[in-house]
Amino acid sequence: MKLTILGGGGFRVPLVHEAVATAATGLTVDEIALHDVDPERLATISAVIEEQGARLAAEGRAVALPRLIATTDLREAVTGADFVFSAVRVGGAEARTVDERVALGLGLLGQETIGPGGLAYALRTIPVALEIARTIAELAPTAWTINFTNPAGIVTEAMRSVLGDRVVGICDTPIGLVRRVGRLLGADLVAGERGAEVDYVGLNHLGWLRSVRLEGTERLPGLLADDAALEEIEEARLIGKDWVRADGALPNEYLFYYLHTADAIERITGAATTRGEFLAKQQGDFYLAAAEADGRGPGAAGSADGGSAGHPDAAVGAVEAGSAGGARAGESCCTSPLDLWRETLHEREATYMAESRDEERREEDVAGGGYQEVAMRLMTALATGRSERMILDVGNIAAGREDAPASERIVPELPADCVLEVLCEVDGDGVHPLPIAPVELGRLGMMSTLRAAERRILEAATTGSREAAWQGFATQPLVSSPELGRRLLEGYEAGHPQIAALFSGR
Active site residues: 254
Q: Could you please report the per-residue DSSP string of 77-146? A: HHTT-SEEEE---TTHHHHHHHHHHHHHHTTS---SSSTHHHHHHHHHHHHHHHHHHHHHHHH-TT-EEE
User: Please, which residues bridge with residue 199 across strands?
Assistant: 211
Phi-psi bin for 161: left (phi > 0), alpha (psi -120 to 50), beta? alpha
Angle between helices 152-163 and 441-463 (to 10 degrees): 60
- C-alpha–C-alpha distance, residues 386 and 330, integer Å: 49
First to last CA, the chain: 39
3-state secondary structure string across 429-469 = CEEEECCCCCCCHHHHHHHHHHHHHHHHHHHHHHHCCHHHH
Query: What angle separates helix 39-58 from helix 275-293, to the nearest 10 degrees?
Result: 70
Cα gap 235→250, rounded to integer Å: 7
Angstrom distance (rounded) from CA 236 to CA 256:
10
- For residue 33, the cross-strand partners are 4, 69
- Please give the single-letter amino acid code of residue 306: G
